[in-house]
């Protein structure tokens, strides 16, 4: 009698903050990654009542408890097929994520870093020069990174401008990022007239733009949604360019649905309405 070895479910460790209200970070990653048939194992860097885009919020920094949290996973000998990180609020947290990757990543683990540092040419007020340098070191441990235009400029010391980017300039930044370590890079949120473009770079393949039509005003959490899809696809073995296109289209559809539903911009995008349409 033949006994086949069961195929185990793959797992992603998602390192990010948890906001009870306002779709972003872990409240986006958990349902999306779960829908894509992976177990999402959260590592909460902080707990918030609602994200910081609101005028008031409760905030509990979890940094001092993370070492004990993570050491228990090591004691249990847990293994992960993917590790992804998002916004990190301090140099200490960046170091904790770096240690996590070194402890848990194997040759087969996909490491995805979304270097959430700022937008529209401005680095977040919480980010120090030292943290920017630490983020470069974290990026060097990643297989995939998803910086927006501001973050790509900051990581490569490229002067920022809002518009007028040529593909050869974006390629130069992507090549510099590739030299740091990651082999798959997507520079997101590039304004192109009536379109928003993502520049896709994968070592050994032809780089290029993926464009989608602009829809409404910017909303919080769209970068988290994009990164969660890319991370899940990476673990599921979906080709990188195909994954970026899928994520771009799904974010746009989620924005359209949010406008139809009259969802407040601070509350992100109501991706739940169309999550069933996201192909695995």
Domain ranges of the chain: 11-272
pTM tops 0.85, yes or no: yes
Task: Give the helix, strand, coil percentages of the chain, each rounded to 5.
Answer: 40, 25, 35
The rounded average pLDDT for each run of 10 residues, N- to C-terminus, in the chain (280 residues) is 70 97 97 98 97 94 96 98 96 97 97 96 90 96 98 97 95 98 97 95 94 93 97 98 98 97 97 96
Residue 2, pLDDT score: 56
The answer regarding whether domain 11-272 maps to CATH 3.40.1190.20 reads yes
List C-alpha distances in Å: 112 to 32, 84, 156, 163, 182: 15, 5, 18, 27, 9
Residue 125, pLDDT score: 85
Residue 3, pLDDT score: 60
| Helices 240-261, 222-236: inter-axial angle, 10-degree rounding | 140
């Amino acid at each position: 009698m033949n006994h086949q070895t069961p195929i185990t479910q793959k797992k992603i460790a998602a390192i990010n903050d948890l906001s009870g209200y306002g779709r972003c970070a872990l409240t986006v990653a958990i349902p999306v990654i779960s829908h894509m048939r992976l177990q999402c194992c959260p590592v909460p860097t902080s707990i918030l009542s609602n994200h910081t885009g609101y005028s008031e919020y409760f905030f509990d920094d979890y940094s001092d408890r993370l070492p004990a949290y993570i050491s228990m996973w090591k004691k249990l000998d847990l293994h992960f097929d993917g590790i992804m990180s998002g916004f990190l609020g301090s140099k200490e947290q960046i170091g904790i994520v770096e240690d996590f990757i070194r402890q848990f990543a194997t040759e087969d683990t996909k490491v995805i870093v979304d270097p959430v540092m700022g937008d529209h040419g401005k680095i977040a007020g919480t980010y120090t020069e030292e943290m920017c340098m630490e983020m470069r070191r974290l990026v060097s441990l990643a297989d995939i990174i998803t910086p927006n235009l501001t973050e790509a400029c900051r990581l490569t010391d490229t002067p920022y401008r809002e518009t007028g980017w040529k593909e050869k300039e974006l390629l130069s930044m992507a090549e510099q990022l590739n030299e740091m370590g990651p082999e798959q890079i997507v520079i997101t949120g590039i304004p192109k007239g009536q379109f928003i473009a993502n520049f896709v770079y994968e070592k050994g393949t032809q780089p290029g733009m993926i464009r989608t039509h602009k829809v409404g005003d910017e909303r919080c959490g769209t970068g988290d949604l994009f990164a969660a899809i890319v991370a899940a696809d990476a673990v599921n073995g979906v080709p990188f360019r195909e994954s970026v296109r899928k994520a771009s289209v799904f974010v746009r559809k989620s924005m359209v649905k949010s406008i139809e539903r009259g969802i407040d911009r601070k509350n992100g995008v109501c991706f739940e309405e169309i999550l069933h349409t996201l192909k695995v």
